[in-house]
Amino acid sequence: MHYRLPGILFVLITLFCFSCSPTDVPPAPILLSSIQLAQYDSTALNSISTSNDSLVYQAADYTVTVTRISYRTTLKDGTPITASGVVYVPRQTTANHKRYPLLSFQHPTAFSNTEIPTGYNFRSASFSYQLYFATHGYIVSCPDYVGYGDASLSPHNYEHQQSLAQATVDMLLATKAYLSQQHIEWNDQIFLAGYSEGGYATLSAQKLIEANYVGTLRLAGSSCGAGPYAMPAFFNYVTQNPTVGGVANQIYAWQTLSYNRVYNLGKPVSYFFKSPYAERISTSLDSARTIALSFDQICTDEFLADVRNPASPFSQALDDNDLTNWSTQTPTRLFHSQEDEIVPFLTSQQTYASMRLRGSANLNLVTLNTGGHVPTEVVFMFRTLDWFEQLRK
């Protein structure tokens, strides 16, 4: 005897069978592993000294645990890769424990693995901006970025929006998983902060979060310092105006060659830089910092023309990394000194003006009248903390 299933029941059973197929692969976990590197008690934290009186620890109230984590992120083409970072977790020594916010700290330009979050010597407590925020009651998540730490075998895509944003966001997701795994409660507020390349990484991550992760990562505030957010304007400036040479040449050349590789432009180093500078840079990118000339003087006429031509492949790569053409709903501050000799102030000016026109009512530009690129970093840190303290629960 044959029975016929009602149509809707047949559909439901079919969907159930397909959804439970043994060939389905669950999403790979973001957090891969964690290992505690150090734990600093209040005595160790109180022994730390800093040469700048603006940075005041309040270490007596805390112990801080430092943990290295490995996590999964993806490259521009979607290839999965293992990356690394460090999480600082403060705990109050008093009985009145409170939940802390989570702060994602994006480090500035790092020239080696000794300058990244996992590259520190953690055997004894020493000054770092990460520890500075932690000893003021913030859980601090610090991505190394692809190109460093566990991902050192891949090149670092310098000032590349997607690479920096995805590594930062996935580090945040891995940190949340770690906190849950360790049963560490926090207050669900997330702050972002970074200076120089870290400032650019911060705004890049903020844009990605607001586009794709708004329900998962709830931003309470974002502080960006001296990043080249207006990328076409930034490169037009440094190729058409006198620059300081030295380390600036290394940074600008690094970004040039990164975009050449990331966007498959296929140009030799000699296409971008004149002889004998092309040969020196080909041998070692580090040698670019020994070139005292202004950046525009070591560039070829062909490359300079490419930067000025909006239709050129290099200019299109610059456009792809521009952060001026969107609107943020997160309270955001752009800090920048008018005397910045590495990343010109106009990058923050143009970003602020463009994003405000697009409806970013909570965006503010904080103009510092004096100070070079490196000295201004410390001002950015303590003013960022002061502002976050006003926003935190």
Q: Based on C-alpha coordinates, what's the Rg of the chain? A: 23
SS3 27: coil
Give the predicted TM-score (pTM) of the model: 0.92
Q: What angle do CA 127, 129, 132 make, to 5 degrees?
A: 75
What confidence score (pLDDT) does residue 11 get?
44
Specify whether the CB–CB gap between 122 and 88 falls below 8 A.
no
Phi and psi of 86, rounded to 5°?
A: -130, 140
What confidence score (pLDDT) does residue 55 get?
64
Could you report the per-residue pLDDT of 7-61, keeping only the tens digit for each?
544 444 444 444 444 444 456 679 999 999 999 998 888 888 776 656 665 666 7
DSSP string for 269-312? HHHHB-TTHHHHHHH-GGGGGG--S-HHHHB-HHHHHHHH-TTS
CA pair distance 163, 365, nearest whole angstrom = 25
What confidence score (pLDDT) does residue 58 get?
64
Place of tokens 């309040």: 58
Q: For the chain, which residues score pLDDT lower than 70?
A: 1-28, 51-60, 95-96
The ranges of the chain annotated as CATH 3.40.50.1820 are 31-229+325-391
Place of tokens 């100070």: 371
Residues 6+ apart with CB under 8 A from 265: 259, 313, 314, 317
DSSP string for 70-93? EEEEE-TTS-EEEEEEEEEEEEES
Q: What is the CATH number of domain 31-229+325-391?
A: 3.40.50.1820
